[in-house]
C-alpha cells in the first residue's frame, strides 16, 4: 500500500533551527519583545506573522499592526540570511537524505509541509538533498490562512495527495507541528532534532518519537517489510 509522507522543513529537512532561534531572539529583543531560544522551538511551525502577533499581544496586551508584522519579519528574515551566509549555508539534518531515498524507492509520495516562507530554503531543497521534491507537493506559509498548530496545512496536503488518511504519515520535530498533524487526523512521527525533551513531543501527541533520522529509517524499513 503506497503512502504519502508529509515532511516539515525546519528541523526535519534542514538543520536551520539554531539560526532561526538566534535571529528571532535578537530581533524580538530589538523591539522590546521577550522571546527566548526555547520560545522559538516551542513556537516552531507557526507562520512568522502568527509568532509576531502572539509576542506583541503577550508583551503589550494589544494587536500587532500590519507595519509591525512586516517590519519585524523582514528584519528577522534578513538576520537569518546573514547568519546562514556567514556559516556558509544551512546544513541538512543528518540522515534525512537516506530517509528520502528510501521513501522514494518505495514509490511513496514526498511532500513538504512548512510554516516557513523562507524562499532561500525552499529553493535549495533539490540542490542539497536528493531531487525528490516538486513544487506541486509543497504546502508553505503562502498556501494557508491558518498555520500550525491549526490542522489546515496538513489537511491541504492530505486532500491534494489523493490518499486515504491512514496512508499519510507526518514527519515532524516540533510540538505545534505534531498538534497540527494529529488535529488533521493523521499519524505523526516525531524526530527529536532540537533542544526539546522527548516528553515535549510525546505530550503533543506524537505516535512515535525517534532520536535521529537513522532510527526513523530503521523503523520505516521494518514497517515496509511487513507489507
* More confident of the two residues 49 and 1: 49
| Residue scoring higher pLDDT (121 or 12) | 12
pLDDT for the residue 116 = 78
Work out the pLDDT band at 193, boundaries 50, 70, 90: very high
Answer yes or no: do 123 and 213 share one domain: yes
Question: Is the Cα dihedral 189, 194, 199, 205 positive or negative?
Answer: negative
Residue pLDDT, tens place only, 35-77:
999 999 998 878 888 899 999 999 999 999 999 999 999 999 9
**Do 181 and 200 contact (CB within 8 A), yes or no?**
no
DSSP 227: -
- Specify the pLDDT at position 141: 83
Residues 161, 57, single domain; the answer is no
What's residue 47's pLDDT? 80
Q: How many domains are there within the chain?
A: 2
Three cell numbers, residue 156: 491541504
Q: Which of 38, 70, 86 is the last residue of a domain?
A: 86
Q: Is the pLDDT of residue 227 over 80?
A: no
pLDDT in the model for residue 104: 97
pLDDT score of 121: 62
Is it the case that residue 120 has pLDDT exceeding 90?
no
Do 94 and 164 lie in one domain? The reply is yes
pLDDT above 90 (res 115)? no
Regarding whether 27 and 10 lie in a shared domain, the answer is no
CA distance 186 to 170: 7
Domain co-membership, 28 together with 120: no
Q: Is the domain of 102 the same as that of 171?
A: yes
Domain match, 11 and 117 both: yes
Question: In the predicted model, what is the mean pLDDT of residues 20-46?
Answer: 93
CATH number of the domain bearing residue 173: 3.40.50.1000
Same domain, 104 and 208: yes
- Residue 45 is part of which domain span? 17-86
How many Cβ atoms are within 10 Å of 124's Cβ, its own excluded? 17
Same domain for 162 and 55? no
Residue 37 grid cell: 531560544
- What would the pLDDT profile of 131-182 be if each residue is shown by its tens digit? 999 989 999 888 888 889 999 999 999 999 999 999 999 999 999 999 999 9
Average model confidence (pLDDT) across the chain: 93
Residue 107 cell numbers, joined: 514509490
Secondary structure letter of residue 140 according to DSSP? -
Residue 118 shares a structural domain with residue 8:
yes
Q: Residue 170 in contact with residue 187, Cβ under 8 Å?
A: yes
Q: Are residues 220 and 168 in the same domain?
A: yes
The model's pTM is 0.87
Please report, for the domain that includes residue 81, its CATH number.
Answer: 1.10.150.240
Amino acid at each position: 500500500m503506497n503512502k504519502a509522507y508529509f515532511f516539515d522543513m525546519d528541523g526535519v529537512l534542514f538543520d536551520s533551527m539554531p539560526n532561526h532561534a538566534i535571529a528571532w531572539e535578537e530581533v524580538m529583543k530589538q523591539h522590546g519583545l521577550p522571546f527566548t531560544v526555547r520560545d522559538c522551538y516551542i513556537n516552531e511551525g507557526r507562520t512568522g506573522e502568527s509568532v509576531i502577533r502572539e509576542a506583541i499581544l503577550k508583551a503589550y496586551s494589544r494587536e500587532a499592526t500590519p507595519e509591525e508584522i512586516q517590519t519585524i519579519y523582514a528584519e528577522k528574515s534578513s538576520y537569518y540570511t546573514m547568519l546562514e551566509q556567514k556559516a556558509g549555508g544551512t546544513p541538512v539534518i543528518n540522515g534525512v537524505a537516506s530517509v528520502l531515498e528510501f521513501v522514494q524507492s518505495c514509490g511513496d509520495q514526498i511532500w513538504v509541509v512548512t510554516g516557513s516562507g523562507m524562499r532561500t530554503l525552499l529553493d535549495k531543497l533539490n540542490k542539497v538533498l536528493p531531487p525528490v521534491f516538486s513544487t506541486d507537493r509543497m504546502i508553505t506559509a503562502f498556501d494557508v490562512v491558518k498555520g500550525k498548530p491549526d490542522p489546515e496545512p496538513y489537511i491541504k496536503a492530505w486532500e491534494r495527495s489523493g490518499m486515504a488518511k491512514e496512508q499519510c504519515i507526518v514527519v515532524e520535530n516540533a510540538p505545534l507541528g505534531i498538534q497540527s498533524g494529529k488535529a488533521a487526523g493523521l499519524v505523526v512521527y516525531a524526530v527529536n532534532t532540537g533542544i526539546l525533551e522527548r516528553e515535549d513531543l510525546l505530550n503533543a501527541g506524537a505516535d512515535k518519537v525517534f532520536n535521529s533520522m537513522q532510527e526513523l529509517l530503521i523503523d520505516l524499513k521494518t514497517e515496509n517489510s511487513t507489507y
